[in-house]
Amino acid sequence: MLLISSKTKNKHMKINHRIIFSTALLSQLLLWAACGKSIFEKDYAGFDGKVLMAQATEGRNIVPLAMSSTPAQLAFGASYGKSMGPAPKDIPVEFELKNDWIAGYNAENNTDYIPLPEGSYSVSGLSSVIKKGKTTSEPLIITIKSKELDVKEQYMFPITLKSAGGEKIDSALTTTWFRIDEIIRPERDVTGQATLTVSHENRNGADAGEGSKKLVDNSTSTKFLVFDINTILPNFWYQLTFPAPIVLSAYTITSGNDALDRDPKDWKLLGSNDGTSWTEVDVRSGQNFSGRTMTVRYEFENEVPYKIYRMAISAVNGGTLFQQSEFRVIEYYEQ
């Protein structure tokens, strides 16, 4: 997957979030959002029933989900209308999961939601009761295993209030379209943990103003420059060596400040634990950096820890020099 930091995110391009919820906090936020009573702080125009789903209110059905080995919990239930006061009797309520409605929702709203896959969730039940003297039912819990989900997809979990013990249901607040628009994946930049080496250095050395150290100095206003690159290719590389094997899953490249024909065009990211045997972990060709000091993010599937990660550059964009402002590597981690 390729992500460009200057572009707006869509379902296939997701920019890194710097604020990551802890799983425990996330679960609490989901439960509070589902069970809170702030919906009753005002009357709703067109209210035409005694029982409703508070979660059906727009804004309360968006589920923030973090990738974690600890399942998140989402609550739903029924409420008795404010204007009616507390329930005068026990009101049994029944719900139904309506995955077959998702296609119609997508057609009407020009979206691409899919159902949560089997095995990625469980529901504590679809029946509850609004107890006499109460305004809300005992909550029902959806448990979601985020690690079973695909971060490239958007998911929907539509729950509808099917019956309320003979009481009329508010037609405007009958169905909650729980939506997972994004799965936030905890990550960290681990570039600083590694030691950089290069196959060919700037003619003035690593410490020069355009030496190799500028490649990982965490500044896009500097760059690494190599002369006469066509006499070196395809045997040019730079690599990061970590103290211990690590699983990387993404990296970013920032183009240089001038002459786009010096930008890297074709490369392979290789992994090794001995510096002799190498495995391809990502391959790119025909890359084009349309902007100067433009950061492009690349994601790849990798579950193998390697101690050394080598960027083997096989072509630049037509020039006789190589330049690159910055190279950063990303590790995903579990909370």
The whole-angstrom separation of Cα 314 and Cα 143 is 47
pLDDT bin (cut points 50, 70, 90) of residue 332 is very high
DSSP string, 124-169: S-SEEEE-TT-SBBPPEEEEE-GGGS-TT--EEEEEEEEE-TTPPB
The whole-angstrom separation of Cα 317 and Cα 250 is 23
In this prediction, residues 161-179 reach a mean pLDDT of 94
Res. 45: pLDDT tops 60: no
DSSP string, 64-116: -EE--SSPEEEEE--EE-GGG-S-SS-EEEEEEE-GGGHHHHHHHHT---EEP
Res. 87: pLDDT tops 60: yes
* Angle at the Cα of 172 from the Cα atoms of 168 and 173, rounded to 5 degrees: 75
pLDDT bin (cut points 50, 70, 90) of residue 47 is low
| pTM higher than the cut 0.85 | no
Which pLDDT score is estimated for 27?
Answer: 47
Q: What share of residues in the chain are helix, strand, coil (percent, to 5)?
A: 15, 35, 45
Res. 5: pLDDT tops 80: no
Q: Tell me the pLDDT tens digit for each residue of 128-137.
A: 999 999 999 9
- List the beta bridge partners of residue 332: 187
**Residue 177 in tokens:** 């379209």
The whole-angstrom separation of Cα 118 and Cα 20 is 27
Q: Give the up-direction half-sphere exposure of residue 191: CA atoms within 13 A in the CB hemisphere.
A: 20
Q: Tell me the pLDDT tens digit for each residue of 294-323.
A: 999 999 999 999 999 999 999 999 999 999
The whole-angstrom separation of Cα 147 and Cα 62 is 19
Lowest mean pLDDT among 37-41, 68-72, 303-307: 37-41
Which pLDDT score is estimated for 81?
Answer: 78
Q: Tell me the pLDDT tens digit for each residue of 179-218.
A: 999 999 899 999 999 999 999 999 999 999 999 999 999 9
